[in-house]
Every structure is written in structure tokens, then in C-alpha cells.
Amino acid sequence: MDSDGACCVCASVRRWCARHLQSNDTTSNGNGNKPNFSLRLAGGGLLSANVSWPWRAGWLQASADGNTWGGACFKQWGVAEATVACRQLGMGVLGLPRSPLFPGFAASVPAPSASQLDTLLNIQSCSGVEADLTVCSQLPWGKQTCNNNAGAAGVVCIPRVVTTSTTTGAVRLTGGGINSGRVEVLLGDGVYGSICAENVWGYAGARVVCRQLGFANGVARIMWPDANTTTVLNNVYCAGDESSVLACTRSSWGDAGNCKGNSGYVAAAICGELSLNAINRFGTGALAPAETGTGHVRIRTSGLTDESVWSYLCGDEWAGWDAAAADTACRQAGFPAGGVPLSTWVEGDLPPVLLGRIQCAGSEQSLTDCSVHAVPGVIEAWQLAAPSSTSAGVCTMLAGVSCRSGPAATAPVALRVAAAPPPSGTELLLASNATVVVRLEAAVGNGPYGAVCQDDGFDAAGAAVACRSLGYPAGGTTYAEDAPSASITLVELASVGAPVDAQGSFLGTVTWLRCNGSEATVQECSGWRFDSPSETVPCRAAAWVACNVS
């Protein structure tokens, strides 16, 4: 430890360090103006409470003579470069890059004295496997300006990664849905690192990760990293029967491969599925009768049987419980026509809840397919089955649904090409494609035909399903150009029996139709359905589609 509290350790042992600190030769390695410099950390100290393996942090400084010290900066200051620096310092197997821009680092690690702020060492890049920074690409030694936007280099050196446990805390999924996201391994002290998906990430690795998290199985995915992602491993190859992802064949710590600088895809996984506890009847623990489908929604990960792991959904406005989410929940519970969102107050403490914002398009087959996010200012990280001690004051209501049930909700839906107005039923050339333009009409069960309404939710996915239902296997898309309203052709409509009201609006038997595009028929999509003439509703606009002829 020198006079101003900086820790000095060279590339090898301390005797080597002492010998070279006395040398004034700044070009001794015969590779241009690259001196055999020594490194130290300034302004920092111990960063963890682990007495046996403490983390060390500080600003990286270099000296060629042991007397004059200056800062270090890097064109690309990433895990590879930080790990090589920590290796040269003799302080660890993994280095985490820090800079004045990193949240909280500059405040917790005092800046060096003014006389030591000049940059003497300017590294361009390292691969991560070098023994020390002298081997890395660098600019000539001496005072110079940093050629990056982050400024001087700080580092956290981790002497040992002790994540060998098979417990849930050793790995996590982040940035995705309830049971999906980027795979991150625990480095210690609540710090996680991601895995580069280069070359070998696949099903077997996802299976190992998901089994660590308590799921029976998983599917491999890749995701683009976000600004907070730190990639620490590469070439992770699993056979599938390992107890931990760190038991798989992998690179050395700090080797980010093609993911250096967040420039490549990182490993991700989707684990199991969410089981829906049908619909819980309000105020009781019993399931609602299938014919009603009204109550609270409870979920848990598939394969788990413990009743205590059920999680309700938060029904507050910030939590995203809306018509799209209700449609998805009802469809998963066996009500294909979807449903209406409800929110209810509960006396006393809430049961375990999903504390996060759920986002569904409304066309998903399961809540598993929806995404979940944190809500800045409300919750900083979402949590499944959050206890009442966590949700108190954050969530005040539980999410519920009233699923569309009864004969109309489950009755078959038949589509046909409306006879009027033109150009319904006409073959047109659109964007060089031969298409048939159709105004859609539907009959629910044994009810009369009426319009399919082009209201919120009907889009290209619904149009493709409708065209397949009409016998056009190549699908189609929505058609709006020159599509007439009913009021233009009231006389013609009346002559062919098209149902309209006194204001000339088409009367619909199917509205709010939501499809994801993979359904075989519109019967599998959600939406309001009416099988009686007295229940038809005026459409704001009728649904028109352009079906591909071939």
C-alpha cells in the first residue's frame, strides 16, 4: 500500500514489481512505445462483506517508473478489458467495468488527486484471455485525451465467483415475461452477469437453467441486451443433465465473445408455462362454475402443486389489467369468446399477487405469452407471488374477469361473403396480388347473419383467419380503401336483406374480434358474439378484408 492509499500489484509477484518500479526504461518490451507498466487501484477499497474473498473497487492507474502515476482509459472498456486488468493486479478472476457514468460508482469511489488525473495509459481493446494489459492493443504511452465517451476507467475486481449452488438465487431470468427472459448468473452481492448466445446456446442449456428455477423444462431463446446487461461468459455448452448452468462447459470468466460491448445476442429462455386456476369465485377459495366464468384470476407455474404458490393478479390501473388481458385469461380458462376485466377491493391484507404491469395484445392463447414489466416510480422490479408485506400500499385491488359464457359464447361462428355493397365479392388486383374483396358477415349458432364489426382489435391477423375460414388458404389482410359505409347504399342493402339500423349502420353479430393469426377459424378468436336479432349492435364500421386468391 503506497503513501496515498493505492494498492500496487504488478503482473507477477511483488519482487518482480519492486524490481521494475525502480526501472526508468519505458520502452523495454521491444514493441514500440509500450512500457512495462504497473497498475494500482486508487480511491477505492473493499466492496463486499465477504472476508475470505472481498471484492475490490477503484480507479485504474498506471505507472512506468513507480513514481509518476496517471489514469487509464479504454476505447472499449468492457468485461474483457476489466478482467485482464484485475488479472494483472492479482485481484480476481473477473473484472466488472465501471466509469464516471456508472450509477453510484463515482460517488462511492473518491476521485484521485488532481496530479494523478492525466491519462498515461490508453488501451484500445483486449480479447479477455491476455495475462496482462501490456499485451493488449494500446496507444503510445504518455499524456493524452481519452478517446471514448465514458472517461477514466474504474473497475470492480471479483476474486472468486462462488455461484455453484443449484438454488433459485444462483440464476435468474430478466427482461421478459413472468417465466422468460435473459439468463443471468449470480456473481455475488446481488450482481448478475449474462451469457453470450454465440454458437452453442440451445435447448439443453435452457433446460438446465429452467430446472434450477424449479420448472420441469424450458425452451432456448436469444435476446438483445439492454444498457444494463454485462456479459461475462461465452460458449456455454450443456449436455442437459447438469445441476447448474455453471457446471456446463464454458469459457473463462470475462470472455464475452461476440457480445463484447453489448454487440451480440445473449442467452435467454422460456421456462414451463403458467397454469390458470380457472376463475376463482369472488370471496371464496372455490372455483366458479364453468357456466359463469366470473371471479378473480390466479396463476402459478405449471408442474407446481403446492396451493401456497398461487398468485393473484393486481387489478390497479398501473398494473395493466385491461380488456386484452381479460380476453387472454378467459381464453386460457376455456372461454373462447373472451371476457370483461373487473377489479375488486379486498379487506385486510392481499393474498400473494403478481406485482408488475402485465401487457397482453388480447390475441394470446395464454397469459404465459403476455409480457410483464416493472413500473418506474411504482415498482423497480416485478415479482410473482409478492407477499402482502411487499404489496401493501402498492396494490390495492385484485384483478378479476367476467368471461363471456352461454350458448352464443361457445356456438360455432359461420362466415360468408356479404352480397352488398360493392365491391364485396369482387376480384381485384391489389399491390400486384390477385385478391377477392369481402365485407364479412357472420352467423353465431343458429342465429341470423349480421356484420362483423371493424372495431378495436380487428386487424391483419383477424383478416388472415377470416380469409382462411372463407376458403382462401393463403389468407389476406384488412381492406379499407374505397370500402363504402352502409349509409351510401341503403336501398341496395335493403334489397338483399343486409341488416342496418335507421342511421344506416351495419348491425353486427360479431364485434371486438381478436385473433393472433394462427387460429384455424374465427371460432377460436375472442370477441362479442350475438345469436339473436334483438342483440345485434351497430358497427362503427364494417369489417372488410382482401383475401389472397393464390
Tell me: the pLDDT tens digits for 409-439? 778 899 999 988 888 888 888 877 889 999 9
In a domain, 1, yes or no: no
Point out the domain boundary residue: 271, 304, 335.
271
Query: Does one domain contain both 132 and 13?
Result: yes
Ordered per-residue pLDDT tens for the chain, 550 residues: 443 434 443 333 333 333 333 333 333 333 445 557 889 888 776 665 555 567 888 888 888 888 888 888 888 788 888 999 999 999 888 898 888 777 778 777 877 665 566 788 888 888 888 889 988 888 888 877 765 555 678 888 988 876 554 444 589 998 887 788 899 998 877 788 899 987 678 777 888 898 888 877 777 778 888 877 888 888 898 877 788 898 888 888 888 888 877 778 899 888 876 666 545 544 444 444 444 577 888 887 665 556 656 788 999 999 999 989 998 888 888 888 888 888 888 777 888 888 888 988 888 878 877 877 778 888 876 777 788 888 888 999 899 888 887 778 778 899 999 988 888 888 888 877 889 999 999 999 888 899 999 876 789 999 999 999 999 999 999 997 555 554 444 455 555 556 666 666 788 899 888 888 888 888 888 888 888 877 788 888 889 999 999 7
Tell me if residue 47 falls in helix, strand or coil.
coil
Contacts of 320 (CB under 8 A, 6+ apart): 357, 358, 359
Query: Does one domain contain both 150 and 18?
Result: yes
Number of domains in the chain: 4
In a domain, 370, yes or no: yes
Point out the domain boundary residue: 116, 133, 158.
158
Q: Tell me the C-alpha distance between 364 and 172, whole Å.
A: 25
3-state secondary structure 345-366: ECCCCCCCEEECEEECCCCCCC
Query: Does one domain contain both 80 and 144?
Result: yes
pLDDT at 463: 95
Query: Does one domain contain both 25 and 152?
Result: yes
In a domain, 163, yes or no: no
Query: Does one domain contain both 256 and 375?
Result: no
Q: Tell me the C-alpha distance between 268 and 271, whole Å.
A: 10
| Contact call for residues 282 and 315 (beta carbons, < 8 A) | no
433: number of CA atoms within 13 Å, CB side? 14
| Contact call for residues 12 and 131 (beta carbons, < 8 A) | no
- Render pLDDT for 393-403 as a digit per residue (tens, 0 to 9): 899 989 988 88
Q: How far is CA 220 from CA 159, 274, 461, in A?
A: 31, 17, 26
Domain that includes residue 328, residue range: 275-405
Query: Does one domain contain both 261 and 185?
Result: yes
Q: Tell me the C-alpha distance between 221 and 109, whole Å.
A: 38
CA–centroid distance for 244 within its chain: 22
DSSP state of 407: H
Query: Does one domain contain both 20 and 113?
Result: yes
Query: Does one domain contain both 388 and 263?
Result: no
- Angle at the Cα of 251 (from 249 to 257), degrees rounded to 5? 130
Contacts of 47 (CB under 8 A, 6+ apart): 54, 55, 56, 57, 156, 189
Contacts of 289 (CB under 8 A, 6+ apart): none
CATH code, domain with 346: 3.10.250.10
- Render pLDDT for 300-335 as a digit per residue (tens, 0 to 9): 766 555 665 678 899 999 999 998 999 888 888 888
Point out the domain boundary residue: 240, 271, 302.
271
Query: Does one domain contain both 460 and 472?
Result: yes
Query: Does one domain contain both 393 and 416?
Result: no
Query: Does one domain contain both 430 and 543?
Result: yes
Query: Does one domain contain both 366 and 295?
Result: yes
